Amino acid sequence: MRIVVFTVTILLFSASVSAQIYKWVDETGKIHYTDQPPPPHVNTKEQQLNINTAPAAGSHPGNPSNALSDEREEFEKRRKQRQENEAKDQAQAEINKKKCTEAQTQLRMYADSPRLTIPDGAGGIVYVDDDLRQRRIDDANKAIATFCR
């Protein structure tokens, strides 16, 4: 008995899933949507609508669960990329801060020291004249403008 009831129930549900929908306009201009064809006395144009019901979960390749997992993967990818960019930006900010401090130190050294010597690269020292001092001050000011923001 249970099998008969179950079979009848399944047949009723399958019949409602494949039902057609009709759209028609009556004499007064009112639009009707029905699952049965319009009455024969209606002389207006009838239109049969093909309305598909939602597919069962997992039966369609583009089902919402696949789309959701794809969206989650894309979100995770974007989040990881954003974190990497933030880490790079922070590292670059630290480098710029260090270069800014070095440039400010050089500017103070060249501007405040009356008699200054620097290594010549061959193991000796060279006295800084006014022309070299001014070039180094200009270089330090450029570095400050670039790295101290």
Q: pLDDT tens digits, residue range 49-60? A: 666 666 555 555
- The predicted-structure confidence for 109-131, as pLDDT tens digits, reads as follows 888 888 888 888 888 888 888 88
CA-based nearest residue to 113, from 139, 137, 135:
137
pTM above 0.85, yes or no: no
Residue among 66, 82, 73, 140 nearest 108 (CA) = 140
Given pLDDT bands bounded at 50, 70 and 90, which one contains residue 27? confident
At 43, the pLDDT band (50, 70, 90 cuts) reads: low
Residue with tokens 């200054």: 116
Q: Which residue has the higher pLDDT, 48 or 35?
A: 35
